[in-house]
Chains A and B, each alone.
Chain A
Amino acid sequence: MVTDSSTHVVEHPSWDGRRGVSIEYELLSRVDGSARFGFDDVGVLASVSGPIEVRLAVENSTKATFEVSVRPLAAIPGTDAKALAATIKSLLTPSLLLTRYPRTLIQLVVQPLSPSLVGSPKAIPSLHPGTAAASINASSLALMNASVAMEGVVCAVAIARTSSKDLILNPTADQLVSSTASGCFAFIFTTAELSNDRLHASEVWSNWQSSLGFDVAEMFGARELAQQGARHVWELMKESIGSVGVRRSDDGEVKAESTGRLPGDGGDEDKMEI
């Protein structure tokens, strides 16, 4: 078991050349799985513990109880953190095979690592789409890192519409403040047929808002763009999994090292501890 943080950082220039994605597996030693996901300046750390013992009040005899908590960077969690946690729980639950772990708890803790849009009275912190998208991606990675049985992987991206009616993927904080509409879209990626590797995407969360109003066609356009973006995120995630446990020595040489626990794409139940 690796005791210190062995990280593999995946840096990719974004598909539109402006924003990069970074994925790190923190390998926190006290939880079953952890991961950090970043869209340039917005980073989120997620950790998963489970299946672990569940308190009687929330125990379910047929499936695991899935609890999500979001801890903001500053101050105690308020109602917006609760709202984001409830959203994440609703959109991740369809992807988890909770019936595999009855009478247990799977606990996900999400920690944004960058402050949300503060100082602007019109800021809606919980719905900062970039943080929401990064939180969802980090959660998916952490769940995979913890080898929780999953039906598919949920990937999310944020989209904003500029004043010139362009749609941009993964907007920066400044771009968001000056945007006229924004939203976050999350898709679950499953391999529909096991024989060929065809990837199938369905949306689990789509959210689009504008204080100036918008038309349906624009929202569908944003969703299309988001699906492509989410697919790209999925590919980056898949690439990152293969390199967990690879340690770079001081002179930059790559040494493979067994971590004793490999994350799977779900379904690794023989390596599961209950």
Chain B
Amino acid sequence: MAATSVPSEEIRAATFQRLYPKTYLERFLQENVRPDGRDFLEFRDCSINVGSISTADGSSLVRLGDTTVVCGVKAEIAEPDLDAPEDGFLVPNLDLPPLCSPKYKPGPPSDDAQVISSRLNEALILSGMLPTKSLCIQPGKFVWVLYVDATCINYNGNVFDATLLAMVAALKNARLPKAVYHEETNHVTCSRKLREPLSLSGTPLASTFGVFDSSHLLADPTAFEEPLLETTVTIITDNGGRLLSTSQLGQYLPPEMDVLSECITNAKSRTTEIMKHILAI
């Protein structure tokens, strides 16, 4: 035998995973378990940490399993739109730098980042979490602009759920300086000491699922499972347990597989769990 060491079990498994990802996942699913040991409908543990960025008006760090997202809220004052003089602006954005995963290259924002940013914007508007009228300082003249910037620092799938959670937590943590409008000078002054929280109502929570091979429903897919799932379901609920949005996209499923009901039940029970932690912020 040549003087090469026999590859260890781990290396052989990792090679198999790289070369035949679909078969690798199938083998696990046949044993009723997923590659990371979870049940099919089990979400990863999530941890929320707020207020760690002192230079931001609000911040949070969320870990959903290995997927880690940092989010910061910065406020600026601007002139409102002519056709919406009492409305401020909420500008959410997600950045997926090459730091988080080898699939993102340096350069302008990737398609993934743009699509997720757009969906996050929709989710925040839909939930009515921060009515833009509450950001008004002086109608027609001065309004707050809130930049909610999230950066993924480790990508292991399901970054949409993690980011929405991070943005919600950061907004809850945000404290804006008290702004006073002076009519005589047409100026706004912000207090250096007095900071007040945002007037928030309704906090959205996203739960994402995927369907593998038209037969298995998997919750909270990892970066390995994501490209193998041909259908994705996202359910957005709010703190009252209400359904705000359901979305099913992708390869058509056999009619006996009505995944939406199962996903909705699962999402609702998850909401009660997670909301306890969000409301405590």
Contacts and interface: CB of A to CB of B under 8 A. Distances in A.
A209 B243 CA distance: 8
A91 B261 CA distance: 21
Interface of B: 81, 83-84, 87, 111, 114-115, 117-119, 121-122, 125-128, 132, 230, 236, 238, 240, 242-253, 255, 260-261, 264
Interface in A53-92: 78-80, 82-83, 86-87, 90-91
Contacts of B261: 216
Interface in A182-220: 188, 202-216, 219
A124 interface: yes
Most chain A beta carbons < 10 A, residue from B84, B87, B238, B244: B244
B118 A203 contact: no
Contacts of B230: 94
B111 A202 contact: no
Contact of A205 (B111, B238, B249): B249
Contact of A211 (B128, B249, B253): B128
B253 A202 contact: yes
Given A127-B122, A206-B246, A211-B126, A83 B84 contact: no
B248 A94 contact: no
Contacts, number: 96
Given A79-B117, A83-B119, A124-B125, A210 B249 contact: no
Interface of A: 78-80, 82-83, 86-87, 90-91, 94, 119, 121-122, 124, 126-127, 188, 202-216, 219
B247 A94 contact: no
A86 B250 CA distance: 11
Given A210-B244, A213-B240, A214-B243, A90 B111 contact: no
Given A82-B114, A83-B119, A209-B245, A204 B125 contact: no
Nearest to B237: A213
B235 to A, nearest CB: 10
A94 B250 contact: yes
Contacts of A86: 111, 115
A250 to B, nearest CB: 45
A121 B80 CA distance: 11
Nearest to B252: A202
B246 A207 contact: yes
A129 B161 CA distance: 23
Contacts of B81: 121
A209 B118 contact: no
Contacts of A213: 238, 240, 242-244
Given A213-B238, A213-B240, A207 B83 contact: no
Given A124-B125, A206-B248, 15 more contacts: A79-B115, A80-B121, A86-B115, A94-B250, A203-B252, A204-B249, A206-B246, A206-B260, A207-B245, A208-B245, A209-B236, A210-B243, A212-B242, A213-B238, A214-B242
Given A83-B114, A83-B119, A209 B252 contact: no
B111 A91 contact: no
A124 B126 contact: yes
A94 B118 contact: no
Contacts of B117: 79
B167 to A, nearest CB: 15
A153 B81 CA distance: 42
Contacts of B122: 124, 126-127
A94 B253 CA distance: 11
A126 B132 contact: no
Chain A to chain B: the 4 pairs with minimum beta-carbon distance, closest first: A213-B242, A202-B252, A209-B245, A83-B118
A90 B119 CA distance: 15
A91 B243 CA distance: 23
Nearest to A214: B243
A189 to B, nearest CB: 10
Contacts of B252: 94, 188, 202-204
A208 B248 CA distance: 9
7 contacts: A79-B114, A124-B122, A202-B255, A207-B245, A209-B236, A212-B242, A216-B243
